[in-house]
Amino acid sequence: MTGVAKFVSSQPQYSLLWREPEEGVIPLCAANGISQIVWSPLGQGVLSGKYDPDRPPPSDSRAASREMSGFMDRLLHPDVLRAVQRLKPIAEEAGLTLPQFALAWVLREPNVASAIIGASRPEQVRENAAASGVIVDTQLFVRAETILDEALAGAAA
């Protein structure tokens, strides 16, 4: 149509813990020249590895916030938190921190133009930015996906 602005980006939630956009949103957008500017690439901070499955969340975290934690229940399930801890050696094998690994996983998708992060300190911004442009062995990502798929299935049961 003439005179109608074309969409150029979509803004879905997307992370190793929330991969639903891969089923429909990303393929549809890619076919129509629409890129992704994703939010929550660290799964509300869960993929930072800061949440211990055997302890309450840190008092200054969004998981401890009454306003923010309600929609995080599935992500804060002990099975999911244990699975996230199991990703640390995989990230190390890639030469990355866990947050960098999680961001590199999001950025490996060609249709993702950018990832919106929620850093609260300058060092987090620097660490997260270091994930841009890294190349990670696909098999490391597959291992991480498998670990998290099993944990998420257990948390949903």
Q: Could you tell me if residue 3 is inside a domain? A: no
**Cα–Cα dist 156/94, whole Å:** 29
Convert the pLDDT of each residue in 81-131 to its tens digit: 999 999 999 999 999 999 999 999 999 999 999 999 988 889 999 999 999
**Cα–Cα dist 68/62, whole Å:** 6
What residue numbers bound the domain in which 137 lies?
Answer: 9-156
Q: Could you tell me if residue 54 is inside a domain? A: yes
Query: Within 10 A of 31 (CB to CB), how many other CB atoms are there?
Result: 9
Identify the CATH number of the domain in which residue 33 sits. 3.20.20.100
The mean pLDDT value of the chain amounts to 91
Reported pTM: 0.91
Q: Which of 22, 69, 30, 47 is nearest to 117 (CA)?
A: 47
* Structural domains of the chain, count: 1
